[in-house]
Amino acid sequence: MFGTPIKKHCVRALGICTLVTLGLSVGMRAQAATPSSWATQEIESAVEINLVTDTLAQDYQKKLTREAYVELLVKTYEASTNSIIDIEAVKNPFEDTNKAFILKAFEAGIASGITEKTFVPEALVTREQMVVMMVRMIEKIEDENKVEILTPSKSTPEFNDQQAISSWATKSINLAVANTIVSGTGDENINPDGYSTSEQAIIMNYRVFERMMDEDLLEDAWQERLENYEEDDTITLETAAAKIALAPPMQLKAIVTASILNLRSEPDLTNPNNIIGKLSSNEEVTIVGEIDAWYQVKSSGQITGYVHKDYIHKYDPNQPVNDVRNQIVAYAKNFIGTRYRYGGTSLTGGVDCSGYTSQIFAKFGYALDRSSRGQGKNGKAVTRNQLLPGDLVVYGYGGSISHVAIFIGDGQIIHATSSYGVRITALDGYMREPIIGYRSVIN
């Protein structure tokens, strides 16, 4: 897709067309104010048009953090669309950052938090995370500028480590590979968990931007926007600071429970021409209105439309704890029938016991350990007499934890069983293993 300007620079050692082998970065000095020799020409070109942030320019060989990468994407997006993402009315959901460009990325749907309350700005960016955020930015530019940058492909690439790709990253990686943004490594792996450096992110971003320049896909004022980015960002942060604190209460949220849900311009199932977008399974939307059997919602991509009530689960993050417990139980029931998959974390594609519980609780801002053993230590211990809907029930032998479930009341649990997938069973009698504990993770 990128033509000769992209392909002539491709180095397959790490797969992203801007990358070289990991061995080149091993042993580099802690601070590198100049780029590697292989990266010099393109980084100088990026610097010349101001397509580099000050943070990344401080150390080109430094491993890439979420905060540093998000700033680069926001700068690129705003320059490409000749717009400034408005965050003046955005309520900051994160407890660990108030950076304007992070709020912009969150508001635009380019980046999300690690949990509902944390962004973890200093966390390192993996290859699959970098591709997902890059594709989100490109798709936002496509929507805003009414252009096509990424060409859809029905073919699915096959890598030796295909199973290591997270389910939430598969679609973006397939799209990026099809459009030559990413390729496999020399050993036919994609290495989704590998880390990237500042210079690799700059060059990957520059080549996408270069392609948009060559094909005249940018708004006319992109050069001025790049030059004035830092000033614009500061002004936005200053004017937004007071308003963020005074933002209106959080609106009702909902989670998509269908595999794919059509977002429509009007509440009408009979008109195939009113489909304005697609919502994916587990996508969170904001409810802004209600008409009969329909909700009017704003998607994570900031598109407003109508969805049928049967295919989303509504909840209110501001409700008291008891209501949150009921919401968790109601949400958990939406996935009855999902197949069991060892190591799985997809509520619609396949989960194991701890994958199921961790994904359910994550939607309500509770971060559980990934393993059943870890979840058996999350929260606080409660007795059977204290057990409430939304508490965890832990099974095993002699203190060794082997299974975890969610108590839903009336002597029942909901859990991912190895034989029948997600189902409701009796608290006692179904599992071979005895109950060895109860945990409350809901404050």
Mapped onto helix, strand or coil, the DSSP state of residue 290 is strand
- Show Cβ contacts of residue 426 under 8 Å, excluding neighbours closer than 6 positions: 411, 412, 413
- DSSP single-letter state for residue 231: H
- DSSP single-letter state for residue 33: S
- DSSP single-letter state for residue 163: G
Helices (H), 260-319: none
* Structure-derived torsion over alpha carbons of residues 406, 441, 375, 130, reported in degrees to the nearest 10: 100
- DSSP single-letter state for residue 409: E
CA distances to 64, 416, 425 from 148, in Å = 28, 41, 49
Got the DSSP string for 16-71?
BTT---HHHHTT--S--SS--TTTHHHHHHHHHTT-S-HHHHT-TTSBPBHHHHHH
Of 9, 17, 313, 415, the active-site residue reads: 415
- Show Cβ contacts of residue 124 under 8 Å, excluding neighbours closer than 6 positions: 63, 64, 65, 66, 195
Cross-sheet strand order for the sheet of 412-417: 380-381, 435-440, 392-397, 400-409, 412-417, 421-426
What is the token pair recorded at 289?
A: 């209105």
Mapped onto helix, strand or coil, the DSSP state of residue 246 is coil
Q: How far apart are CA 381 and CA 109, in angstroms?
A: 37
Burial class (CB in 10 A: 0-12, 13-18, 19+), 31: exposed
Going by their DSSP bridges, the two strands 412-417 and 350-351 should be labelled as unpaired
Of 9, 17, 313, 403, the active-site residue reads: 403
308 is catalytic: no
Report the chain's C-alpha Rg in angstroms: 23
First vs last Cα of the chain: how many Å apart? Answer: 50
- DSSP single-letter state for residue 195: B
Mapped onto helix, strand or coil, the DSSP state of residue 86 is coil
Q: How far apart are CA 345 and CA 174, in angstroms?
A: 19
Of 9, 17, 313, 353, the active-site residue reads: 353
353 is catalytic: yes
Instruction: Determine which helix (DSSP H) or strand (DSSP E) holds 169, and give its type and residue range.
Output: helix 167-178
Determine how many CB atoms are found less than 10 A away from the CB of residue 379: 18
Catalytically annotated residues:
353, 403, 415
